Chains A and B, each alone.
Chain A
Amino acid sequence: EKEEKTKDFSDYKNVWVFGEQREGDLNSVVHELVGQGRRLANKLKENLSVILPGYQNIAQAKELINYGVDKVYLIDKKELAEYNDEYYTYVMAELIKKYNPSIVLMGATTIGRSLGPRVAARIKTGLTADCTSLDIDDKSKILLQTRPAFGGNIMATIVCKNHRPQMATVRPGVMKAAEKRENYEGIISKEDLDLSKVILKTEVIDIVREIEDSINIAEADIIVSGGRGVGSGENFNLIRELADTLGGAVGASRAAVDSGWISHDHQVGQTGTTVAPRIYIACGISGAVQHLVGMKSSDIIIAINKDPGASIFNYATYGLVGDLFKIIPLLIEQLKSGATIKESAASFEK
């Protein structure tokens, strides 16, 4: 289909962000998408809009404008109070067909990764998954979408040349969140959609909140692991506390598991679980090859070890050399205090 090169997309304009919410709370990824969407829209000299399906959500819409949003499409319906694939797909697809945006961004959350492919398949356009970087090509004005694949071993840049909108889900926690601006001029546009056209075949019966300790390390976003250097089962509480502070899960080396300090469910490595979280923090782990194979695809590896020659440092993105019993409590304290950094220590000694 060589003639496709000449496709004219001048009718497709503006950057859209899906305003994901649960129980009336906007997901923090929305602010990140607004921040990134603003930069893309500026580069394209187009507008930035948020699509906000929900119930009694006018206050959220007003608040969003303050973050530099030009237009909020507000869909305020009782049926949309809780997320539902069928209603939400209908809303997104109908509005996209009506207004022809050039770019649509969603968070790569459980909701975004379910809704995104459904919407893209309905309107027959491309969707790039779980992006960690987005940019506009200067010449062609096409969206350059970069994402990790093969468990984070490679980064692929993907384009959607001949279809609109260009859709992407974006990994939470990667893009810089939008900052609040006073008196930003944006508008709220109420959209009335007839949801009775959707014949529901799914029903959310209940939502159960869980304490995260039972988390499956294979699917955790952040893992704090302890090894022989932790010294005892009781000392593992320090590892747990750091994991809790970060909202992550607890992992372990085989040496720690074999010593009976923690159960095998937590073991990372060749004879345990292979993990590829966004952040892996190895505490008192030397970096034996059987451990490394289970975690080396993590996006960011942080090693805490008192031996500067430990092989874990060869794989670490960031390394802290010292006693974990000194370092971890300090780290927990800093993180809990909202991470205010003392001027005096901000200098690098590299």
Chain B
Amino acid sequence: MNIVVCIKQVPDTTDVKIDKKNNTLIRSGVKSIINPYDVHAIETGLQIRDELGGKVTVISMGPPQVKESLKEAVSLGVDEVVLISDRAFAGADTLATSYTLAKTIEKIGEVDLILCGKQAIDGDTAQVGPGIAEHLAIPHCTYIKNITEITEKSITVQRKIEGGFEIVKLQLPALLTVNKEINEPRLPSIRGILKAKEIDVPVWTANDLVLDKAAIGLDGSPTQVVSIATPEINIKGDIFKGTPEEQVNNLVKIFCEQQILG
């Protein structure tokens, strides 16, 4: 089984602060981690490989410091890693990101299974996984909480939906995005840590991939973030006064007015 896992390096969100003067994100001094859901995607890949043989390649698009996250993946026992990094990729939205990752996967070639996290904890869109699958013209399935069967030709999964789950069978090659409940990630092994120390992470640039340069980076991104603000909510709270009945009525009234309960 030839497996590719896509990981994103993200800031440790509880540390994210906003510069209230300029409404920009303060990124300096913020620790970077592998997107928490992606750690579960790596574990999924490793478990399948350990059972069926094959190899796990972890890829990530981002600036040079993402090498650290890829080394962490090596310490967990993955076989290969690739950093996709080039100024030309900067400013990519989910369409351009998924296109670039799809082109990377095409270059790796003969891939049976692609694994992503449910969503990234910074961008929070959950759009990159299905986007990659579309660019590669393969099936996908989101919010996977369990894999019940895997053969050379197909994979059967449990997909979480509102109020339950679906059991879906996909022909391979396919792409899955995984929830945290799918598994308990392993810790790095001593052998892995030693391997990670020695590895020289390969970097692919735009020139290493066969792609349409108009479809990558900022130019290839239809969406644009035009402003960022801290939400007003949680800043000034309404503390109700009066009897319990009055307070409850006030709360329910706000629920109704603002359509908070749907």
Using a CB–CB cutoff of 8 Å, the interface residues on chain A facing chain B are 1, 28-29, 32, 85-86, 89, 109-111, 113-114, 116-118, 120-122, 124-130, 144, 148-163, 172-177, 201-210, 212, 216, 218-219, 246, 274, 279, 293, 296-297, 299-302, 308, 313-323, 326-327, 330-331, 334-335, 339, 341-342, 345-346, 348-350
Contact = CB atoms under 8 A, between A and B. Distances in A.
B259 A318 contact: no
Contacts of A175: 259
Contacts of A339: 252, 255-256, 261
A154 B134 contact: no
Contact of A150 (B124, B128, B223, B239): B124
A296 B127 CA distance: 25
B25 interface: yes
Contacts of A319: 237-240
Contacts of A202: 139, 141, 168-171, 174
Nearest to A152: B231
B250 interface: yes
Contacts of A114: 130, 140-142
Contacts of A153: 13, 16, 18, 230-231
B205 interface: no
Contacts of B240: 318-321
Interface string B212-224: 0011000101111
Interface residues of B, number: 88
A120 B131 contact: yes
Interface of B: 13-14, 16, 18, 25, 93-95, 98-99, 121-131, 133-135, 138-143, 156, 158-171, 174, 179-181, 214-215, 219, 221-231, 233-234, 237-242, 244-256, 259-262
20 contacts: A1-B214, A1-B219, A110-B142, A110-B143, A114-B141, A114-B142, A126-B95, A126-B223, A127-B125, A151-B13, A154-B16, A204-B166, A204-B167, A205-B168, A208-B158, A210-B163, A323-B244, A331-B252, A345-B246, A349-B242
Nearest to A346: B253
Most buried by A among B13, B99, B141: B13
A218 B223 CA distance: 29
B238 A208 contact: no
Contacts of A302: 251
Contacts of A345: 245-246, 249-250
Given A117-B134, A120-B95, A203 B251 contact: no
Nearest to A313: B239
A118 B130 contact: yes
Given A121-B134, A209-B163, A318-B239, 14 more contacts: A113-B126, A124-B222, A126-B95, A130-B124, A149-B123, A151-B121, A153-B18, A173-B259, A176-B259, A201-B170, A319-B240, A321-B247, A330-B245, A331-B252
B41 to A, nearest CB: 16
B226 to A, nearest CB: 5
Contact of A317 (B133, B140, B238, B259): B238
Contact of A118 (B140, B227, B228, B249): B140
A350 B247 CA distance: 11
Contacts of A156: 225, 227-228
Contacts of A297: 13
A323 B247 CA distance: 12
A218 B40 CA distance: 14
B238 A318 contact: yes
The 10 closest A-B pairs by CB, nearest first: A173-B262, A126-B222, A129-B125, A126-B223, A121-B134, A117-B127, A319-B239, A163-B222, A345-B249, A117-B130
B87 to A, nearest CB: 17
Contacts of B181: 216
